[in-house]
């Protein structure tokens, strides 16, 4: 199953509800919410009150990507606000097992995120604890950056590790994902595609969502059993 997750970071914050409804009606599967604290990444975005407002305008799962130091303190507030998935960066977690277990015990789906320069080896033990692994395909902090091509091979290696270990974690990719690289990403093993600027900087965001989904599903169908 290929899922499209529009990143609302690229939407007009004065009209978030409209942006979400538009992509939902075009077939988006998940809403990706980028939370930045100005410390772990050099940008500040939104917190639990924004998630609580978004929660009222969509029934889609809310995928909260925490780019913050000390994420443990914010898990409960985001769950209370309506987050369905919570992903933490391995670079920010001193006790990764405890953090992931706490996300699950509070009723959200735990995910772990790796920066482009962080090795897959850091996941050796934690892979069994997550529903999804988010591979950053740009350095986190800003939308609209260029995809780093070497991350494709990282996605392939992760898919092989997941298969080899007989686990069910899904692979999500985030950063610089466009209609041009979606096919390669899906063929490499990604099944959750976070897309910001390509959707929201287009005059017809709904059409882009439909195209991304069509290309993603066609690529997956060309390689049965891959995902
Ligand atoms: C970057 C964020 C991404 C970003 C993706 O730190 O995690 O979710 O919004 O945006 P695009 O698709 O524009 O790279
Ligand atoms: Zn993100």
| pLDDT, tens only, 158-201 | 999 999 999 999 999 999 999 999 999 999 999 999 999 999 99
CA of 174 to the centre of ligand 2 (A): 6
Query: From the CB of 181, is ligand 1 less than 6 Å away?
Result: no
pLDDT of residue 43: 98
pTM for the whole structure: 0.98
Query: From the CB of 194, is ligand 1 less than 6 Å away?
Result: yes
Dihedral of the CA atoms 180, 170, 219, 58 (nearest 10)?
-70
pLDDT band at 81 (very low <50, low <70, confident <90, very high): very high
In the chain, % of residues over pLDDT 90: 97
pLDDT of residue 75: 98
pLDDT of residue 195: 99
**Number of the ligand closest to the Cα of 8:** 1
Annotated catalytic, 34?
Answer: yes
pLDDT of residue 223: 81
pLDDT digits over 147-158, tens only?
999 999 999 999
List 29, 37, 131, 174, catalytic entry: 174
Q: Which residues contact 112 (CB under 8 A, 6 or more apart)?
A: 87, 88, 89, 90, 96, 100, 123, 126, 129, 130, 133, 134
Query: From the CB of 87, is ligand 1 less than 6 Å away?
Result: no
pLDDT of residue 224: 67
Q: What is the mean pLDDT of the chain?
A: 97
pLDDT of residue 226: 53
pLDDT digits over 92-122, tens only?
999 999 999 999 999 999 999 999 999 999 9
List 34, 37, 63, 131, catalytic entry: 34
Cα–Cα distance, 90 to 193 (Å, whole number): 20
CA of 165 to the centre of ligand 2 (A): 26
Return the ∠ at Cα 141 (arms to 190 and 219), rounded to 5°. Answer: 15
Query: From the CB of 144, is ligand 1 less than 6 Å away?
Result: yes
Give mean pLDDT, residues 42-56: 98
Cα–Cα distance, 199 to 32 (Å, whole number): 12
pLDDT of residue 225: 62
pLDDT greater than 70 at residue 227: no
Spatial CA neighbour of 29 closest among 56, 53, 6: 6
Return the ∠ at Cα 100 (arms to 216 and 62), rounded to 5°. Answer: 45
Cα–Cα distance, 8 to 150 (Å, whole number): 25
């Amino acid at each position: 199953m290929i899922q499209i997750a529009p990143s609302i970071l690229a939407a007009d914050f004065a009209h978030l509800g409209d942006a979400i409804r538009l992509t939902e009606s075009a077939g988006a599967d998940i809403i990706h919410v980028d939370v930045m604290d100005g410390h772990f990444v050099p940008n500040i975005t939104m917190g639990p009150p924004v998630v609580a407002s978004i929660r009222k305008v969509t029934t889609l799962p809310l995928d909260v990507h925490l780019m913050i130091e000390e994420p443990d303190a914010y898990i409960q507030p985001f769950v209370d606000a309506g987050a369905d998935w919570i992903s933490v960066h391995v670079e920010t977690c001193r006790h990764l097992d405890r953090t992931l277990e706490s996300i699950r015990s509070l009723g959200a789906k735990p995910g772990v995120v790796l920066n482009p320069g962080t090795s897959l080896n850091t996941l050796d033990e934690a892979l069994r604890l997550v529903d999804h692994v988010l591979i950053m395909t740009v350095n986190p902090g800003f939308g609209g950056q260029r995809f780093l091509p070497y991350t494709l091979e990282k996605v392939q290696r992760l898919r092989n590790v997941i298969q080899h270990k007989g686990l069910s974690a899904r692979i999500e990719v985030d950063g610089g994902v466009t209609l041009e690289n979606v096919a390669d990403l899906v063929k490499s093993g990604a099944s959750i595609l976070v897309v910001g600027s390509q959707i929201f900087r287009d005059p017809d965001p709904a059409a882009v969502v439909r195209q991304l989904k069509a290309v993603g599903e066609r690529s997956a169908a060309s390689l049965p059993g891959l995902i």
